[in-house]
């Protein structure tokens, strides 16, 4: 009797474990699961590349790359679409001594935050649990402009100096568009690579846009020095109205990141996990 009881308990325990495993898989993996509300957290680390008035093409020896970091979340809306939001930090720089306009001698560096909200569309459905899943995404957000330039060993913030005689907005709109691919490593964790371009609704990411101003209208000697840096390399001072940049194309910055996505789940899935727990014997 004791042996039968022990054997029955053992079989019941094994069966319960198998059912729990099967139900857990069904809640996360089969095509009947409603994925709405599934939450994931994301993190990214990579490089940022600047495209604007202070470079005129890709110089492989002097790319001016800086770090980019992102923290965010994905909220599942359908099998293929998620809402996404991110807080990001990036550093970019540019220096005309590596460009065809080296005689102007302008340069900058900036470390900026940005924040965006958007949508991500996966190629494969959530419940398919594809080991490799490419995706597209787009977002709208804002960034804070804080370009700086170095003079005499000191870095100065350029926006307050109005080096072109223009007081520009420092919180412009940013439109982000990109592609990525994720690789499922565990039931909850995915790693991937993502590439995106960030189009700034401003031409002053680098503090350069239009023409040289009348130096007499600038607020200080420091502003005049950082507005026209040609004399530092023996060039003649630029005349008011000469091209300092080009407002035809606005600035942008590119991200290439390695990404991690961790699936948290939703309330319904957490309740289901508790239901499928087996009693301890």
- Condensed to tens digits (0 to 9), the pLDDT of residues 184-194 reads 999 999 999 99
- Do 29 and 120 lie in one domain? The reply is no
- Determine which of 31-40, 47-56, 60-69, 160-169 has the lowest per-residue pLDDT on average: 31-40
- Do 3 and 133 lie in one domain? The reply is no
- Do 148 and 13 lie in one domain? The reply is no
Q: Which pLDDT does position 14 carry in this prediction? A: 39
Answer whether residue 21 shows pLDDT above 50: no
The residue that leads in pLDDT, 277 or 63, is 63
- Do 50 and 176 lie in one domain? The reply is yes
- Do 41 and 130 lie in one domain? The reply is yes
Report pTM: 0.83
Q: What is the pLDDT of residues 84-140, one digit of tens each?
A: 999 999 999 999 998 888 999 999 999 999 999 999 999 999 999 999 999 999 999
**Residues forming beta bridges with residue 150, ordered by sequence position:** 155
Are the C-beta atoms of 76 and 42 separated by less than 8 Å? no
Answer whether residue 23 shows pLDDT above 60: no
Task: Give the mean pLDDT of 163-174.
Answer: 97
Q: Is 82 helix (H, G, I), strand (E, B) or coil?
A: strand
Domain housing 178: 37-265
Task: Give the mean pLDDT of 174-187.
Answer: 97
The torsion angle over the Cα atoms of residues 40, 41, 42 and 43, rounded to 10 degrees, is: -160
Contacts of 146 (CB under 8 A, 6+ apart): 110, 111, 112, 157, 159, 170
Confidence tier at 270 by pLDDT (50, 70, 90): low
Task: Give the mean pLDDT of 221-243.
Answer: 96
- Do 95 and 123 lie in one domain? The reply is yes
How many structural domains does the chain have? 2
Strands (E), the chain: 39-51, 66-76, 81-95, 107-122, 132-143, 148-151, 154-157, 173-184, 189-200, 252-265
Mean pLDDT (the chain, rounded) = 87
- Do 109 and 207 lie in one domain? The reply is yes
Confidence tier at 6 by pLDDT (50, 70, 90): very low
Q: CA-CA distance, 107 to 116, in Å (whole number)?
A: 28
- Do 88 and 99 lie in one domain? The reply is yes
- Do 14 and 48 lie in one domain? The reply is no
- Do 13 and 125 lie in one domain? The reply is no
- Do 43 and 70 lie in one domain? The reply is yes
Answer whether residue 12 shows pLDDT above 80: no
- Do 175 and 231 lie in one domain? The reply is yes
Task: Give the mean pLDDT of 2-15.
Answer: 40
Q: Is 126 exposed, middle or buried (0-12, 13-18, 19+ CB in 10 A)?
A: buried
Q: Which pLDDT does position 17 carry in this prediction? A: 40
């Amino acid at each position: 009797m004791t042996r039968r009881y022990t054997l029955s308990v053992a079989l019941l325990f094994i069966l319960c474990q198998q059912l729990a495993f099967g139900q857990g898989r069904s809640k996360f993996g089969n095509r009947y699961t409603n994925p709405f509300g599934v939450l994931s957290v994301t993190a990214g680390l990579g490089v940022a590349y600047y495209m604007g008035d202070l470079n005129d093409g890709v110089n492989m020896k002097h790319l001016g790359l800086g770090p980019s970091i992102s923290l965010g979340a994905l909220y599942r809306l359908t099998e293929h679409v998620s809402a996404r939001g991110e807080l990001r930090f990036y550093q970019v720089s540019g220096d005309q001594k590596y460009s065809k306009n080296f005689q102007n001698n302008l340069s900058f560096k900036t470390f900026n935050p940005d924040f965006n909200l958007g949508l991500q569309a996966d190629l494969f459905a959530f419940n398919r649990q594809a080991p490799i899943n490419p995706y597209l995404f787009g977002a709208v957000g804002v960034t804070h402009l804080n370009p700086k330039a170095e003079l005499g060993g000191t870095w100065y913030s350029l926006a307050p100096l109005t080096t072109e005689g223009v007081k520009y907005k420092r919180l412009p709109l940013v439109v982000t568009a990109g592609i990525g691919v994720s690789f499922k490593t565990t039931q909850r964790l995915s790693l991937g690579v993502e590439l995106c371009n960030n189009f700034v609704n401003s031409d002053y990411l680098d503090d350069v846009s239009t023409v040289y101003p009348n130096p007499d209208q600038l607020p200080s000697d420091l502003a005049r020095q950082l507005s026209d840096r040609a004399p530092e390399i023996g060039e003649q001072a630029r005349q008011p109205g000469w091209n300092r940049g080009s407002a035809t194309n606005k600035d942008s910055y590119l991200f290439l990141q390695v990404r991690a996505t961790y699936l948290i789940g939703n309330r319904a899935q957490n309740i289901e996990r508790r239901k499928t727990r087996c009693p301890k014997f």
